[in-house]
């Protein structure tokens, strides 16, 4: 049996407690505030308790073998709860401990943000979507790697503010186009999970998430990604060409090929293989799946000689637009990263009149400079495969504009290199 003592409990006296010996002190001078008790243990440590007496019974609540100051703090908190109206402290604390155990178990089994985003990618892959690889790369780089804790956060704890931070970090780095894509990916992932409840054919991994609300739905568009109207001046375009012409190896070839093919959409370039290259026609077959069309539209892009030269530098396997010697196509993110390095160098050298530019700005620049060189709107539209969704173009106009597009690319090359940009009109063949 332990020996009781009436000595006052202090930090010093607690250190001198012998095994089985007890000390105590009131929490405060207020009647009914309770008592902090301490008991010496055989191993030399001290166990603390909070004791309170009610009309019905005495309750002694273990606080554990903790430091004295922590015991005082914990006992004071319990005293305040008791005086505040929580009379059955022992049972209340027992229920709270059980709830914490349940919550930990729930958190352990809870699906997190990463589960949602990867389930969405799996759905894209199962549906045969060509964009699945790009979406996976973008989510891994800008969410999993950049926000590892958030990636593992349970879905029911994810808020709009969290997702705004994710997209905002990318936008703040000047990567507006990437931020817009990331916003679209996250919104689409939540939307797919919500729709999965009503779709028996949906991926089970999406349906099992039990998502009913889309916190990404209220993320404001980033200026429609098109608040940008940046187009390089002729001087800036020529400075850019000098940079990428002097850039050795695959990096330079990649950027030259992109420019000299008219700024084609990178998702389409990344899918191109040797089978898509017509050596006789010196043209590349791209499959345009943009928009709501169910069947891709064949888009032929002529290759001028400097573009062919760049293609040969990259080539080493089935894929033509590549940084891996042809083993895989170059993703949007890989190309954007290489462009960023060139743009940074140009900015430091004072070669940019209106600040940094993006891949989207380059595409806009090509259209703008060709328009200034009096290339017709029809030819420009067919070169970059945009604005061709009308009934007439879909069903009746089968002319491929191949030679006109080749002439436009030759004009672009002359503009970029500083030669004359005059274009020789080409009559359509009967």
What is the DSSP code string of 89-153? HHHHHHHHHHHHHHHHHHHHH--BHHHHHHHHHHHHHHTT-TTHHHHHHHHIIIIITT-HHHHTS
Residue 308 and residue 330: Cα distance in Å, rounded? 17
Domain 234-417 has CATH 1.20.1260.10: no
Split at pLDDT 50, 70, 90, the class of 103 is low
pLDDT tens-digit map of 266-304: 888 989 999 999 999 999 999 876 544 446 778 899 999
pLDDT tens-digit map of 216-260: 987 877 754 444 678 999 999 999 999 999 999 999 999 999 999
| Average pLDDT over every residue of 2-18 | 78
Split at pLDDT 50, 70, 90, the class of 72 is very high
Return the residue matching tokens 């209106």. Answer: 354
CATH topology classification for 113-225: DNA polymerase; domain 1 (1.10.150)
Residue 69 and residue 79: Cα distance in Å, rounded? 15
**Residue 115, CA distances (Å) to 118, 119, 159, 186 in order:** 5, 6, 16, 12
List, in order, residues 6 or more apart from 64 with CB less than 8 Å away.
Answer: 47, 48
Split at pLDDT 50, 70, 90, the class of 355 is confident
Question: Are the C-beta atoms of residues 246 and 346 closer than 8 Å to each other?
Answer: no
Instruction: List where CATH 1.10.443.10 sits in the chain.
Output: 234-417
Q: What does the pLDDT read at residue 399?
A: 64
- CB count in 10 Å sphere of residue 380: 21
List, in order, residues 6 or more apart from 93 with CB less than 8 Å away.
Answer: 61
Instruction: List where CATH 1.10.150 sits in the chain.
Output: 113-225
**Residue 293, CA distances (Å) to 128, 158, 161, 392 in order:** 15, 34, 35, 15
């Amino acid at each position: 049996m332990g020996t009781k003592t009436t000595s006052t409990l202090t930090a010093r006296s607690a250190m001198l407690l012998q095994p089985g010996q007890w000390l105590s002190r009131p929490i405060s001078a207020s009647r009914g505030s309770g008592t902090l008790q301490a008991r010496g243990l055989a191993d030399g440590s001290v166990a603390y308790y909070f004791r309170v007496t009610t009309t019905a019974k005495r309750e002694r609540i273990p606080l554990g073998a903790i430091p004295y100051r922590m015991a005082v703090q914990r006992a004071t908190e319990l005293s305040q709860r008791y005086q505040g109206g929580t009379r059955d402290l022992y049972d209340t604390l027992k229920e709270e401990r059980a709830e914490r155990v349940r919550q930990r178990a729930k958190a352990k089994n809870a699906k997190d943000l990463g589960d949602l985003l990867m389930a969405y990618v799996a759905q894209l892959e199962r549906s045969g979507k060509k964009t699945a690889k790009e979406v996976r790369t973008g989510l891994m780089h800008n969410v999993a790697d950049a926000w590892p804790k958030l990636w593992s956060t349970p879905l029911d704890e994810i808020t709009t503010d969290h997702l705004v931070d994710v997209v905002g970090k990318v936008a703040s780095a000047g990567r507006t186009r990437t931020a817009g894509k990331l916003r679209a990916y996250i919104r689409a992932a939540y939307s797919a999970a919500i729709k999965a409840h009503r779709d028996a054919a949906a991926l089970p991994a999406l349906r099992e998430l039990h998502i009913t609300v889309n916190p990404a739905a209220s993320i404001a568009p980033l200026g429609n990604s098109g608040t940008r109207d940046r187009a390089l001046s002729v001087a800036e375009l020529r400075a850019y060409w000098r940079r990428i012409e002097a850039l050795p190896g695959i990096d330079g070839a990649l950027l030259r090929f992109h420019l000299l093919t008219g700024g084609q959409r990178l998702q389409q370039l990344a899918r191109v293989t040797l089978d898509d290259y017509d050596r006789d026609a010196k043209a590349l077959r791209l499959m345009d799946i943009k928009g709501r069309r169910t069947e891709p539209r064949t888009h032929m892009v002529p290759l001028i000689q400097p573009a062919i030269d760049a293609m040969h530098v990259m080539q080493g396997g089935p894929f033509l637009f590549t940084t891996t010697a042809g083993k895989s196509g170059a993703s949007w993110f890989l190309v954007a990263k290489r462009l960023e390095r060139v743009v940074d160098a140009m900015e430091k050298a004072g070669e940019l009149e209106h600040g940094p530019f993006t891949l989207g700005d380059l595409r806009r620049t090509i259209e703008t400079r060709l328009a200034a060189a009096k290339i017709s709107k029809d030819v420009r539209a067919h070169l970059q495969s945009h604005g061709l969704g009308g009934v007439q173009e879909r069903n009746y106009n089968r002319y491929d504009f191949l030679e006109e597009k080749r002439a436009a690319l030759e004009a672009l090359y002359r503009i970029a290199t500083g030669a004359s940009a005059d274009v020789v009109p080409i009559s359509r063949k009967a």
